Amino acid sequence: MSLALYGHPFSSYTQKVLIALYENGTPFEFRCIGPDTPQHIGEWLRRWPIAKFPLLLGGDRQLVETSVIIEYLQLAHPGPVALLPADPMASLDVRFMDRFFDLYVMNAMQVAVDSKLGRIPGTPEAGLELAKERLERAYAWLDGHLAGRTWAAGDAFTLADCAAAPSLFYADWVYPIPDAYPALRAYRARLLARPSVARAVDEARQFRPLFPLGAPDRD
C-alpha cells in the first residue's frame, strides 16, 4: 500500500509526521503544498477543505491530525521503531507527552507567530510576551519531567518525541530555553542530533527566511 503525504517541509506539524516516517524508513511520496504545485493544492483542498496540513493518504484511507496519522502508521506500516509502546499504561504516558508538546509548547509558540502575522487581536509585542509567559511555564515543567530521562516518556524514542522535536525547535527560536533548564536544553540537543529529526530540519533549511519573527543563525 503506497503512502502520500501532503504538507510543507517548514511546517512543524508536517515535520512531526516526517520524523515518524523517517524513523522507520517508511516509503512514501511527499506532495509539497506551495505556489509551484497547484495540482497538489487543489487535491489537498478537495480532500480536506479545512485547509490544514499534513494530510496522509494510505490506500482507501485519508488521515489528518498528526497524532492520529502516526498511530495509523504504527498499525498499518509498523517498523523497527515502535512509536507507541504495547503496554497500555506506558502508551498513555506517551500520548500525554504528545499532547503536552502540541498544546503547551507548539500552541504557545504559535501565539507569537500569529500575532506577528495579524491573525489574532493585539500587537506583535503583546503576542510575543504572552507566548514567552506560556513557554516559560511549559519549560519549567518539562525541565523537571525530563531529569534523568533520555526521551520524553523514558528510554525509547516515541510519538512524544516526534511531537517534541518541531515544538522545541521553533519554540526556542521564539523564546530561547534559559540556562536555568539544563535538562530541557540537553533534550532539545539530543532531538536535533537524532538522524530523523536532523533530516527534517535540513530539508526545511531553505525556507527559514519565511519565519515571521526572523530565524536565528543557529541550529
Count of domains for the chain = 1
Q: Is residue 206 a part of any domain in this protein?
A: no
Residue type, 140: A
| Domain housing 175 | 88-195
Q: Is residue 201 part of a domain?
A: no
**And the C-alpha cell for 47?**
480532500
Asked whether residue 119 is assigned to any structural domain, the reply reads: yes
pTM of the model: 0.97
The side-by-side arrangement of strands in the sheet containing 29-32 is 29-32, 3-7, 55-58, 61-64
Cell of 194: 537524532
Reduced to 3 states (helix: H, G, I; strand: E, B; else coil), residue 33 is coil
Q: How far is CA 146 from the centre of its chain?
A: 18
Q: With respect to residue 14, please indicate whether it lies within any of the assigned structural domains.
A: no
In a domain, 124, yes or no: yes
Q: How confident is the model at residue 59 (pLDDT cuts 50, 70, 90)?
A: confident
What CATH code is carried by the domain that includes residue 183?
1.20.1050.10
E strand spans, the chain: 3-7, 29-32, 55-58, 61-64
Q: What is the pLDDT of residue 1?
A: 57
Q: Note if the bond before 85 is cis, omega within 30 degrees.
A: no
At 175, phi and psi to the nearest 5?
A: -140, 95
pLDDT in tens, 102-117: 999 999 999 999 999 9
